Each structure stands twice: as structure tokens, then as C-alpha cells.
Structure 1
Amino acid sequence: MKKNWKSLFWKMPNSNARFIANGWQISTLVVMLWVAPQLTHAQATDIGLWSGIGVEKKINKSLSVSLNAQTRLTDNLSILRAYLGELGVGYKLGKHWEVTGYYRYIGRRKKNADGSGYEYRSYNRFYADLAYDHKLWKLKFDYRLRYQNQFQDDDQAAENNSSYVRNKFELSYPNKTRFTPYISTDLFYEIGGSFDQMRNKAGVEMKINKHHKLELSGFTDYRLIGKQENRFLIGLSYKIKL
């Protein structure tokens, strides 16, 4: 009897199977995007939006280059807090390991020296990643170790602004649908200081076709030191692989 029941289950019509899969995906997306981030930041008084586009080009089986651009809105999407562009090179070390290096230019909104208004100041960031991924049952585990060093351009002189080591842990659920949900935590350690920030994120990647993806996420930056910003951030990015 058990055998017959299993046979009926696995031979469900494709339309029903798709319906169940889609229903599960929608439920997962709602829970992950809205419930999980707000558990850590339940009553946000400010909503921000980080939106961008990224293009990646494979040179060969191991080597790739990428170009990304992003804008960051704050004050309930009314003010451009920052804009950035970056160029990177990645190299696969094997099936599970990859190293990447990036240069990022940032224009960030800051108060004038006399406090009379705001201006966009230039920052230059260099960072390198060592990434590892591994399949855990039906889930995928990703770990990323990042070193980043940032310089502020002030009166035509570059001054070291901050240096960090970051550890990011991510679990995703690859499946046969177009949607891949995930959750992640990113820990920030300031060199010469201590752990001062944690970024909790939940999101979903939607595969449009072989070369195009759309990613939607919700996340919060939790300050481990200093005053906590009561802000919820939405991430929206478009990815192209050539």
C-alpha cells in the first residue's frame, strides 16, 4: 500500500506539481523577505533602497571580469545617500573556491565643513574576497571572507578612512523553479578595533533566462557599537552574465 501511495505522489500531474512548488516558493518569499528581517528591526522609521545593475563576462573557464553600478536612497526613498561604480576580476581555484579583487568608487552624501549644507564626497575602496560553496542536502552553503580598505579623497589628498575584515555566511535553496530564496549574515570587524556591525539579509533570486537574473532582498544593518539606525533596506539588482 505504501508503495502505491508513493507511486501516486511522484506521478502527480505536472500542473499540480508546479502549483505546489509555486505556492511553496511564494510562501517562502513572503516569510523570508518580510518576517525574517523585521524580527531584528521591527519598527523602522526610515526605508532605504539599494538598486543596481551588474554585468559579468567570462574570459575562460576560470577567469571572469565584472562591472557593477548602484544607487542608494534614504529618508523613505527621498534622498540619494550614495552612488557607486566598481570593477572586479574573479578567478576560480576549483569546484568550490574562488578569489576576486575589486576597485569601487563611491560618492557619499556628507555635511559641508561649515555645516551649512551637504555635498557628495569621494571614497575609493579596494577589496578582495575568498569564497567557498558547498551543497548541504538540498541547500547550498556559501562562505565569503573579505578584506576591504577605504580611502577618502579630501582636498586632493587620499586619507585612509577604514579597513575591515568581513565574514559572510549564506544558505540558499536551489531548486527546479526560477526562484532561489536565501538568508545571510555578514559580520564586520574593523582592523585595530572590534566587531561593530552585523548585516542580516533575506532575499530571492529570480532567473529570467540563461543570462539574466533579478534579485530582491530585505535587510538591516545592526550596529554592535554606537547608536543603532532605525532603518530597513530594500535591495533590488539586475544581473547579466555574458
Structure 2
Amino acid sequence: MNCLSHNHYHRVVILTIIGILAGLTNYAQTNDFGLWTGIEAKKELSKRFDLSIELSNRLKDNLNQRDATFVGTEISYAKKIFSTSFLYRISNEKKKKYNATSHRFSWEVEFEPKIDRFKIGYRGRLQTQYTGINSSADGHIPESFFRNRIKLEYNIKGLPLTPSISYEFFYRINQYTTRQIEKNRYTVGLDYKFNKRNSIGLSYFLNETVHIANPEKRYIVGIDYKFDL
């Protein structure tokens, strides 16, 4: 592929990201706006296994209220285009009248084949979460979802930038009378790699709840810093 073709693809990808961001920003003016920030440290245990720890804080109600603060850990195995992970997360969530502690357990598989400078990824995640086990009558009943995400990334030649776009849906699996999609997530993002060990990710996404009482749309900016130990 010649230099002109590369430049053409670069312009298409960048203009597409800018267009989507502009559209989401217009919608966000009349809906709730949030900010998610996080930092993640990863340690290579062996050629195939990694261990990571993440600390994150989330704001909602147009940045006027804390939504949740959590610490999570993940152990993952990867080989070529396939990876699988086990995750645990403990969080403190802000409810209307009290704070609640949540415990989340997840298992996921991911496939990320590459085509030229594109990476097309699928991730399937089984997730169950217990909230307010000792502080609410139904705290022993988990919220369980089967999450499915499709993600497209583009590696810009000569630049440490990786734009991406993705769609994910959350399918409820433990409510036998209402098994259905309860949340959609649309995301555009841009990762910048400082060097082999340090990177920062910027994202803008829409969380949309559906098929439930009082559905809502929340527009969120995400900022994540990652480094390898």
C-alpha cells in the first residue's frame, strides 16, 4: 500500500472519530454526564500470564456526585489472538440514601484477529455482582449479565495513536421472567502510547439502559492511565 493510500485511511479514521464525538456531544447536552478515571498496573508473570490491579473513580449527575469507587484485580492468559481472564472487583457505590459495598466476579474470553492495520475484537464476559449483602434484604441475590462486545481498532502507521470504536450489550441472565438486553454501550476512544510501558486512553461513550423501569442515557468521558511493572 503506497503512502497516499495510507494517508487516505488515516484521514478517514480520524474524521470518523471526530464526527462521532461531535454527535455524542450534542446529545449529551440534554442528558446526564459523567466522568470515569482510572489507573492500572500490570505485571507479567510468565510468557502467557499477566496480573493487573486497577483503581477507578466515577462521577455522575453532571459531575456533581460520586457514582462509585472500586479496586479490581485480574489474572489473564493470552496466546496469539485468544485470551481469557478472571476478574474480581470490590466497589463502594453511592445510592440515593446510603453507600453500598459491591463484589463482582467475572470470567471473559476475547478474540482479536488483525487485518492489515486493523484489529477486530470480540469479547464475551459472564459477570455476577452482589451489592449490599449485609445492608439490604435482597443483597444475597446477584445481578448477573452476559456481556458481548465488538471492537474495531486502527493502528496509525508512524504514530503512537490507536483510535477505536465499539458496541457492547448487557444481557440479563438471572431474571427468568425478564431475560433480555438491559444496557447498550457505544464507545469511541483513542489510546496514546508514551513508550513500551506507559499509555493513556481517552474515551467517550454512551450508556443506555433499556427494557427496565425509568431507563436513562448517560454520556461519559473516560480517562485511563496504564503502566507495566
Counterpart in the other structure of 1:239: 226
Aligned partners of 1:185 and 1:198 also within 8 Å: yes
Of all paired residues, the percent bearing the same amino acid is: 28
C-alpha separation in 2, matches of 1:28 and 1:55: 31
- Does residue 164 (structure 1) correspond to residue 148 (structure 2)? The answer is no
Determine the C-alpha separation between the residues in 1 that align with 2:9 and 2:146: 39
Note if contact 2:208-2:218 (Cα within 8 Å) is conserved in structure 1: no
- Out of 28, 31, 44, the position equivalent to 1:45 is 31
| 1:32 positional shift | 3.9
Q: Normalised by the size of structure 2, how large is the TM-score?
A: 0.86
Matched, 1:195 2:181: yes
Match of 1:3 in 2: none
The yes-or-no answer on 1:147 pairing with 2:126 is: yes
Indicate the structure (1 or 2) with the bigger Cα radius of gyration: 1
Q: Which residue of 1 aligns with 2:168?
A: 186
Aligned 1:1-242 pairs, distance under 5 A: 10=3, 27-35=15-23, 37=24, 41=27, 43-92=29-78, 94-111=79-96, 118-155=97-134, 159-176=140-157, 177-191=159-173, 192=176, 193-226=179-212, 227-242=214-229
The one-letter amino acid of 2:70's match is: L
Which stretch of structure 1 is more off in the superposition, 135-144 or 82-91? 135-144
The amino acid across from 1:186 in the alignment is: E
Q: Which moved more, 1:160-169 or 1:23-32?
A: 23-32
Q: Cα distance 1:121–1:180, how it changes in 2: closer, same or farther (>3 A)?
A: same
Matched position secondary structure for 2:21:
helix
1:155 partner SS: coil
Q: Deviations over 1:114-167 (max 9, x none)?
A: xxxx32100100001101001134311011000001112333685123011010
Relative to the length of structure 1, the TM-score reads 0.82
Give, as a single letter, the amino acid of the residue that structure 2 aligns with 1:46. Answer: D
Give me the whole-angstrom Cα distance separating, in 2, the residues matched to 1:155 and 1:21: 54
User: Does the 8 A contact of 1:71 with 1:83 survive in 2?
Assistant: yes
Q: Between 225-234 and 148-157, report the one with greater CA deviation.
A: 148-157
Deviations 1:21-50 (A, max 9, x none): 987775454234333x458x4643321001
**Bigger shift: residues 69-78 or 22-31:** 22-31
Mapped to 1, the partners of 2:169 and 2:13 lie a distance apart of 28
Question: Residue by residue, what CA displacement relative to the aligned partner does 1:51-75 show, whole Å, maximum 9, x if unpaired?
Answer: 1101111111100000001111012
Query: Residue 208 and residue 34 in structure 1: after superposition, are their counterparts in 2 closer, same or farther (change >3 A)?
Result: farther
